[in-house]
Amino acid sequence: MTNLFEAAGLEKGAPRPLADRLRPTRLGEVVGQDHLVGPDGALTRLIESGSLGSLIFWGPPGTGKTTVARLLAHETTLHFEPISAIFTGVADLKKVFEAARGRRTTGRGTLLFVDEIHRFNRSQQDAFLPVMEDGTITLVGATTENPSFELNAALLSRARVLTFKSLDEEAIGKLLARAEAAEGRKLPLDEDARAALVAMADGDGRASLTLAEEIWRAAKPGEVFDTAGLSRIVQRRAPIYDKGQDGHYNLISALHKTVRGSDPDAALYYLARMLDAGENPLYIGRRLVRMAVEDIGLADPQALVVANAAKDAYDYLGSPEGELALAQATVYLATAPKSNAVYTAFKAAMRTAKEHGSLTPPKTILNAPTKLMKQEDYGAGYRYDHDEPDAFSGQDYWPERLGRQQFYDPVERGFERDIRKRMEWWAKLRAERGE
């Protein structure tokens, strides 16, 4: 069976990468995951309880999933057995399970770490179920994909999902400081270049240390790189964002407001600025989806479809081809009729729901699946709208203590103009029928 780290090219005697040399030796050294390994973290509590259980680690690359799994084995005295779903077949799994059974007879358990667990197909995932149930292994699976979609429901029901977060600027900064301490030298970067390096890492701790190694290898004695020099060395464009990331927020704000303000040319300009600066295009795609629901809404219901399609098209095509889909969506949103009526209505509905608590809906519109509920008049007097004139009964659906409310006020633009006419007609019918 191929060892996980041998498969990655870490042969005996070969120089160990900086990221591997700086791998934490205890949970307290893990950065950026305090919600898991901090003093009150979920994993900390599990370890203190003495009952670890099987786990699924879900999060982006370079956030510490493998490291934390290894440290868990140390904290719990379990034997650590790492495998990768990319290199492991059913025959290999059987060998791992047999070894775990043998180990169990000596009184020692096994923490089986499965990297890229989502790459196992459904039948392979099922193979874990009996050895999880009888305690032969404690499974810790790592995945960058949504477990709800990629893992069997049966497997998920036997494991707890813990989410790892992308490392923030502070966490990346701590890693770089550790690297400098370990190397006994500072990174040859000026202040702006160092901030650009943090942005380039994009929340990936391993990537930040790999970039640091590239910089040290490339630097001549006494040389200090600015952002332009950094870009040449690592062969990727440094984001044109300042250390506090004000530039990042300024540009996304500018893009959002130019779309809201129906200026497609300005919107394209700020889109180009962000892409040129190295912003993650999928982040932009997600923000376009937000613009579609916040600023356009039902004035043009197609806007959400277009924005989602653009995000998916980029995810499928990548750069540079997929960037055109983002540009197309940006122009569509900027030129669409605008309305925040649904956005405003939803906020008002949420306020009302929180203020008034658990009010019971009128019995008229409640189902009565049992005899007792029928005796209590559940569903009594309900009028089936399709049997009413104009397919509209106009009956009162509101809790008695709350009374009728109006949150949604469609604008006289785009498709909402038609919705407004429809709602006014229903209000007229309701008044005529005395509801």
Predicted confidence (pLDDT) at residue 5 exceeds the cutoff of 50: no
Instruction: Give the pLDDT score at 242.
Output: 45
Instruction: Give the pLDDT score at 375.
Output: 84
* pLDDT tens-digit map of 85-98: 988 888 889 999 99
* pLDDT tens-digit map of 102-138: 999 898 889 999 999 998 988 889 999 999 998 899 9
- Tell me the fold of 169-234: Helicase, Ruva Protein; domain 3 (1.10.8)
Q: Does domain 4-163 have CATH number 3.30.450.40?
A: no
Instruction: Give the pLDDT score at 233.
Output: 83
Predicted confidence (pLDDT) at residue 243 exceeds the cutoff of 70: no
Mean pLDDT lowest among 20-24, 201-205, 233-237, 261-265: 233-237
CATH of domain 246-335: 1.20.272.10
Instruction: Give the pLDDT score at 240.
Output: 46
What is the average per-residue pLDDT within 297-317? 95
What is the average per-residue pLDDT within 178-188? 93
Mean pLDDT lowest among 11-25, 29-43, 168-182, 302-316: 11-25
Instruction: Give the pLDDT score at 237.
Output: 47
Domain ranges of the chain: 4-163, 169-234, 246-335, 341-432
Instruction: Give the pLDDT score at 10.
Output: 46
* pLDDT tens-digit map of 6-43: 544 445 556 788 888 888 988 889 999 999 999 889 99
Rounded-to-10 torsion of CA 323, 324, 325, 328:
130
Architecture of domain 341-432: Orthogonal Bundle (1.10)
